[in-house]
Amino acid sequence: MTKTDKAAGRAAVVDPVRLHARRWWGLAAIALSQLMITLDTTIVTIALPSAQQDLGMSDANRQWVVTAYTLAFGGLLLLGGRITDRMGRKRTLVTGVIGFAVVSGIGGMAQSGWMLIGARAGQGVFAALLAPSTLALLVAMFPEQAERAKAIGIYTAVLTAGGGLGLVGGGLITSYLDWRWCMYVNIPIAVLATFGAISTLPDPPGRADAKMDVFGAVTGCGGIAVLVYGFSEAGERGWGADRVGVLLGLAAVLLIVFVVLQARLRSPLLPLRIVTDRNRGMAFGTVALATLGLFGVFLFLTYQLQTVMGYSAVKTGVALLPLVAMNVTGATQISSRLLPKLPPRLLIVPGLLAAAASLAILTQLTPDSSYAAVILPAEMLLGLGIGTLFVPTVAVATSGVDPQDGGVASATVNTAQQVGASIGTALLNTIAAGATATYLADHHGGSTLRDATVHGYSVAATWALGIMLGTALLVAVFINADPRKPVAPKAPAEPADALAKK
């Protein structure tokens, strides 16, 4: 008997009653693992000025503390998904959590800027290994529709609220402790997540036939990494910069080659059936577009509160807490309860419209706007909308996927989120900067930089509003999945050895 057969045998005799009782504790371990990833997307941003001064980094190198993480994370997600399918999801999750904690500790002890940048890249590598296994395990652990909706509600609340909590935590840690604790904070989270994962999560065996697609990894992961970097550079240098054009052109070439390869290879990194399904493909697009708006607004609200209204880092973090609270409410109390009863688009479209209403309020932003009258209602609507739409969107994106493709499907959800965040930050930041410059030129010194800056925010909010409304229309047309209707069983896939003989 082979090792794979023995592992399959162990998985087959797992007591279902015991598994049912402990899976909610397993969900806690998954949520902690995902929280560690999303926290580090934003927590270091608040700490970056202190880290730059302490380590003597130049302004040019400073951005790499953020970019190194997003490049490694976004670029390697698809490969991480296939590794998850091959190695087994529990093993991959535990490896990712431990590795993330180790490199976080190295980053906290950094004695130079490049040491910190290297640690951030390491975080991105282990995040790309960890993220696909979290969602894939969740889907496998909760096959029943109503319980899966609750579980996805908790998962998506962590996924979308983690960025806001990172801003709050970064402000508090930087103000009252030291920037290094923004890295060290991952260690206790990782200890809890590791212990919880080992003691509660099921351990289904990996697939030995899930081959590594080397050409797909080079073109697909490389294309996504170059795309993320290109948009990051656009945010810094503007869309007209030669480097931006070269990067985006190279990304387009790599991704086109990637798609052609995936259509021809027997063991592709990303089976195209995952993204060409009408409902699932639109769900991936919705994740990207909704994240685009969310991260763009996070950026503008942070600048508005700190730069324009003079809030401290801590006060800014506290001022953003209502957005996080409403996000959790929308995910856990609205969508997770209604998803088993309603078609997903009847939750996704209202969620997008609520987010659009938030952006409509922010189009009226002025330097004298009141927090209570303008920013707070916008925050609450955005949090409620994003929380409400993410649960059904993730459910559609992961439903009907063959079990052997669970890791790569989960990786695609995370890739859509990462690409959306990168594009949103760069695109809306560039639009805001251009509108600010135009406003100053048109008024010939008749207005202050403060007025022009806020005008730029309102123009960017107008673009984000259009994106949200357009996405709502696309969802209404293309997503027609209904969890209340049984799905016809698919024909069993041919064994890998039979495919190889063809």
Task: Give the pLDDT band (50/70/90) at residue 185.
Answer: confident
The residue type of 406 is G
pLDDT at residue 209 tops 60: no
Report residue 363 as tokens: 């189009």
Task: Give the pLDDT score at 221.
Answer: 78
Task: Give the pLDDT band (50/70/90) at residue 207.
Answer: low
Sign of CA dihedral 173, 177, 183, 187: negative
Total Cβ atoms within 10 A of residue 284: 23
Cα pseudo-dihedral 415, 292, 28, 84, rounded to 10: 0
Task: Give the pLDDT band (50/70/90) at residue 15.
Answer: very low
> How far is residue 270's CA from residue 261's CA, in Å, rounded to a whole number?
10
Task: Give the pLDDT score at 474.
Answer: 92
DSSP labels for 438-500? HHHHHHTTSS-HHHHHHHHHHHHHHHHHHHHHHHHHHHHHH----TTSPPPPPPPPPPHHHHH
As a whole number, mean pLDDT of residues 109-127 equals 89
Task: Give the pLDDT score at 106.
Answer: 93
- Nearest 5°: the CA angle 350, 488, 201 is 75
Range with the largest mean pLDDT of 121-135, 297-311, 395-409, 411-425: 121-135
**pTM for the whole thing?**
0.76
The number of residues in the chain equals 502
pLDDT tens for each residue of 139-157: 777 777 777 777 877 777 7
Q: How distant, in Å, are the alpha carbons of 186, 299, 357 from that of 429?
A: 29, 8, 20
pLDDT at residue 99 tops 90: yes
pLDDT at residue 16 tops 80: no
DSSP labels for 440-457? HHHHTTSS-HHHHHHHHH
Report residue 64 as tokens: 């790499």
Report residue 333 as tokens: 């109390």
Task: Give the pLDDT band (50/70/90) at residue 352.
Answer: very high
Task: Give the pLDDT score at 18.
Answer: 52
As a whole number, mean pLDDT of residues 487-502 equals 44
Task: Give the pLDDT band (50/70/90) at residue 403.
Answer: low
